[in-house]
Structures are given as structure tokens and as C-alpha cells.
């Protein structure tokens, strides 16, 4: 086996997934990546391949950890759902019932459902925010509590690319009997019981295992570059949401890194919308446990899962930040234009550059893909489409 070739587990009959994964690597679409599939509660695919970083000197190993950007949001949605199951939260209750300070600036009637489905109009904050502010939980949640909605809540939806995690995470912290942070809740209640390697707030002793993200090159087509600037350039809603008005921009870089999400400071903080770090195996295992029992652990009740995966954003409505139609349930991005997954009924979340994790209970499938080479996308990555299609070819 040559350096960088796919290695790991593939049960009989699942070879098409390995072939699609190998094609992504050999074509150059991937530098280093991992993919995992659970079927009927069993791990049937668990592969790694390629290289740890752009130097292509070290292999992408079984214990390599990967930052997954917004794929983190799905794990946060699961944590919220667990609080609903424990009757600590109600999707239809007002946020201010759990977080009184949130009622400021006309937000008293915003519901948990509106918050989780990106309808609250809180995709950024008007007051200046530095990276240090954003990495301090009390500071950033305090700013969000003070912020006036950027549209009338419930009248439209727009991707809360970073703020979703602090908003949802603060809800969990407020209602949890021990007032645990979102990262601690995930460690204690999700990844610990499942023995899954995934963190929101990475311990320093694991930092050496993190494969650095490789930014996508700028588009060569001037027309495409101009369109992206119009959609996502400075001052647009997308730019405001994705960078928190520049707090996570180039000016925040340190130590020669090329993107701020490769820095230790960002890895150490809790950004439950964007800085989860782990393996494809862990993410697939977590999603498998949302609809089935995995080694004695089931994370969500049937009723809560059904509510959480039901799309509540209006059909065909353009996202006020991303401009294209997006579809959300209770924190999950549901099957839609930007998130085709394996078809109707799937729930999960993609991450910037290509990662994704989702479940399809009707197919008894849980799937995750992580990678270090980013592509110019927020969702609907060609690599994940090829892998999902391979799974479909196996199960019919």
C-alpha cells in the first residue's frame, strides 16, 4: 500500500464507498480525509487516507483529529435535544424564560425554536467584537443578550454561522443542573458514554494530533470571484455572519497561520457552531446513537428526534445571509437544496469547506466525512455527494 492510500475498515459489500473515497484522494480533491458509516448500529466503513498536511510528509492516521467547522452545529443540536428530553428545555418556550437577560432590546418573545432555526435575527452583533471577545464565553454571550434583532424575529431566516453555537450553548448552560458549558456537557453526556473522539474546546495535550485546515484557492474565473465577493464580501450579511464582522478575519492571525481556525487559541475555546474537533468515526457514532442504541447509549427519544428533524423554515425561502434556500429544523440542517444528504428525512449539518455528518433513520445509516483540504463551498460538496451515492448503491 502506497503512502496516503485509504486504510482502515470496510466490511464486505461496502467496497463502493472505499472506491469513491480513493477516487477523491487520487483526483487531488482531498489531501487528507476520513470517512465513516454506521449501518444498523454497526460500523461498516472506517477509513482514513492521504496526508496530515500540505507538505504530504506524514500520513493522515487513524488518530488524526480534524476541525469540522459547522458540522459542529449538529452535535450542539443533539445536546439541546437531550435537554428537551430531560424536560429542562421546551422548543416552544421563550428563550427569556431560561435566560432572562436575553429579553433585552425587544427579544423577549423569541422562542427556542426560532433561535435554533436561524430565525432570531442575531447572526452578528453591532458592537465591535475582537477575537479575544469572541473567545471569552461571558463576553460574547453578554453581547448577544444586549443585541437587538437584525430583522423582526420569525419573519425570515438567515444563517447564524457563528452565533448559533453561543446562543444554543448558553441555553444548555442555563438549564443544566450543574451549569456545565456546552463543551463539558458534550464530553460528559455524549462523547464520554459513546467513547467518541470529538471535542468542543480541545485539551492542549491533543493539539499535536490536529490536522491543519488547508484553505481553498481563490476562484480562477473572474466572474465567479466577482459573484462570491458580491455574495460574501465585507459588509454583506454572509461576511458578517461567517466572520462575526471581521473578528475571525485575517487581522486576527498569529504565529504564521493562514486561517484563524488553525490557531491554538481558537481550538481551546468553545465555539459550538464552528470549532468542533474530532474524527469521522466519532461523528458517525454520535449520529447513529440519535436513532438507535449504540453500545447501550441512545441520545434522543423518538419524539424529540422527529421534532428536531422536521423542517420549520419556509419551503424555498432564500437564506437572508447565504442568499440561497436553506432548510433548518431544531438546529439541524435538514434535507434541502444546500444539504441533499441521502434524500428526505435526513438530518445533520455540513461544515465550511466540505465536512458533513448526518443520519438517515429510514435507511439505518449514520455518515460522516472530515477533511483538511477545503473547497469553495459551505455545503453540497462534490466529495460527500460521491460518498453518499456510493452508500446508496450499496443499500439500494
| DSSP-derived secondary structure for 149-166 | PSS-TTS-----TTHHHH
Q: Are 4 and 49 within 8 A, CB to CB?
A: yes
Percentage of the chain lying above the pLDDT 90 cut: 89
302: number of Cβ within 10 Å: 10
Q: Are 4 and 59 within 8 A, CB to CB?
A: yes
In the predicted model, is pLDDT for residue 254 greater than 70?
no
**Position with higher pLDDT, 64 vs 3:** 64
Residue 210 C-alpha from the chain's centroid: 17
In the predicted model, is pLDDT for residue 288 greater than 60?
yes
Beta bridge partners of residue 214, listed in sequence order:
373
In the predicted model, is pLDDT for residue 249 greater than 90?
no
pLDDT at residue 65, rounded to an integer? 99
Length of the chain: 396
pLDDT at residue 377, rounded to an integer? 72
In the predicted model, is pLDDT for residue 126 greater than 70?
yes
pLDDT at residue 250, rounded to an integer? 67
Rounded mean pLDDT, 247-253: 74
pLDDT at residue 252, rounded to an integer? 56
- The whole-chain average pLDDT of the chain stands at 95
Rounded mean pLDDT, 156-161: 98
**Position with higher pLDDT, 2 vs 269:** 269
Q: What is the pLDDT of residues 17-75, one digit of tens each?
A: 999 999 999 999 999 999 999 999 999 999 999 999 999 999 999 999 999 999 999 99
Whole-prediction pTM: 0.96
pLDDT at residue 255, rounded to an integer? 56
The CATH number of domain 62-353, selected from 1.10.1510.10, 3.30.1340.10, 3.40.710.10, 2.40.37.20: 3.40.710.10
Strand 356-360: give its sheet, edge to edge.
7-10, 42-50, 32-39, 365-371, 356-360, 347-350, 333-334
Pairwise CA distance, residues 383 & 347, whole Å = 18
DSSP 116: H
Rounded mean pLDDT, 253-266: 82
In the predicted model, is pLDDT for residue 305 greater than 60?
yes
Residues in contact with 215: Cβ distance below 8 Å, sequence separation at least 6, in sequence order: 258, 259, 374
Q: What is the pLDDT of residues 178-219, one digit of tens each?
A: 999 999 999 999 999 999 999 999 999 999 999 999 998 877
Helix (H, G, I), strand (E, B) or coil at 339: strand
The model's confidence at residue 253, banded by pLDDT at 50, 70 and 90, is: low
Q: Are 349 and 327 within 8 A, CB to CB?
A: no
CA nearest neighbour of 184 among 202, 210, 206, 162: 202
Pairwise CA distance, residues 239 & 246, whole Å = 8
> For the chain, give me the number of helices (H) and strands (E)?
14, 11
**Position with higher pLDDT, 336 vs 225:** 336
Pairwise CA distance, residues 204 & 172, whole Å = 24
pLDDT at residue 257, rounded to an integer? 65
In the predicted model, is pLDDT for residue 226 greater than 90?
no
Pairwise CA distance, residues 53 & 257, whole Å = 13
DSSP assignments along 60-98, one per residue: --TT-EEE-GGGHHHHHHHHHHHHHHTTS--TTSBGGGT
Residue 256's alpha-carbon distances to 212, 252, 263, 334, in angstroms, are 12, 11, 9, 37
In the predicted model, is pLDDT for residue 12 greater than 90?
yes
pLDDT at residue 1, rounded to an integer? 66
Residue 198's alpha-carbon distances to 137, 143, 232, 283, in angstroms, are 20, 28, 30, 7
Give the angle 178-181-168 at the CA atoms, nearest 5°: 110
Amino acid at each position: 500500500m502506497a503512502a496516503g492510500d485509504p486504510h482502515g475498515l470496510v466490511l464486505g459489500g461496502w467496497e463502493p464507498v472505499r472506491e469513491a473515497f480513493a477516487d477523491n484522494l487520487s483526483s487531488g480533491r482531498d489531501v487528507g480525509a476520513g470517512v465513516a458509516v454506521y449501518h444498523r448500529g454497526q460500523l461498516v466503513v472506517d477509513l482514513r487516507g492521504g496526508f496530515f498536511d500540505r507538505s504530504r510528509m506524514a500520513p493522515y492516521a487513524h488518530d488524526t483529529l480534524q476541525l469540522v467547522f459547522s458540522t459542529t452545529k449538529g452535535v450542539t443540536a443533539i445536546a439541546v435535544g437531550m435537554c428537551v428530553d430531560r424536560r429542562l428545555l421546551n422548543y416552544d418556550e421563550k428563550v427569556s424564560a431560561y435566560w432572562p437577560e436575553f429579553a433585552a432590546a425587544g427579544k423577549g418573545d423569541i422562542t427556542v425554536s426560532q433561535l435554533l432555526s436561524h430565525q432570531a435575527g442575531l447572526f452578528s452583533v453591532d458592537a465591535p467584537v475582537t477575537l479575544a471577545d469572541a473567545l471569552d464565553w461571558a463576553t460574547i454571550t453578554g453581547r448577544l443578550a444586549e443585541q437587538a434583532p437584525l430583522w423582526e424575529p420569525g419573519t425570515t431566516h438567515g444563517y447564524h454561522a457563528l452565533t448559533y453555537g453561543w446562543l444554543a450553548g448558553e441555553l444548555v448552560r442555563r438549564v443544566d443542573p450543574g451549569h456545565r458549558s456546552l463543551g463539558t456537557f458534550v464530553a460528559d453526556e455524549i462523547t464520554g458514554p459513546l467513547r467518541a473522539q470529538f471535542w468542543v474546546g480541545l485539551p492542549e495535550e491533543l493539539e499535536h494530533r490536529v490536522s491543519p485546515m488547508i484553505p481553498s484557492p481563490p476562484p480562477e474565473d473572474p466572474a465567479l470571484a466577482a459573484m462570491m465577493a458580491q455574495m460574501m464580501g465585507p459588509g454583506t450579511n454572509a461576511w458578517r455572519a461567517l466572520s462575526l464582522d471581521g473578528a475571525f478575519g485575517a487581522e486576527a492571525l498569529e504565529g504564521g497561520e493562514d486561517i484563524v481556525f488553525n490557531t491554538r487559541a481558537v481550538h481551546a475555546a468553545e465555539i459550538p457552531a464552528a470549532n468542533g474537533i474530532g474524527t469521522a468515526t466519532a461523528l458517525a457514532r454520535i449520529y447513529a446513537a440519535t436513532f438507535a442504541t449504540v453500545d447501550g447509549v441512545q441520545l434522543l427519544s423518538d419524539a424529540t428526534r422527529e421534532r428536531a428533524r422536521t423542517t420549520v423554515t419556509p419551503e424555498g425561502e432564500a437564506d437572508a445571509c447565504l442568499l440561497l434556500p436553506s432548510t433548518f429544523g431544531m438546529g439541524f440542517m435538514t434535507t434541502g437544496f444546500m444539504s441533499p444528504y441521502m434524500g428526505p428525512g435526513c438530518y445533520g449539518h455540513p461544515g465550511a469547506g466540505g465536512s458533513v455528518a448526518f443520519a438517515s433513520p429510514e435507511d439505518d445509516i449514520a455518515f460522516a466525512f472530515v477533511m483538511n483540504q477545503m473547497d469553495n463551498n459551505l455545503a453540497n460538496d462534490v466529495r460527500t455527494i460521491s460518498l453518499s451515492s456510493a452508500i446508496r448503491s450499496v443499500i439500494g
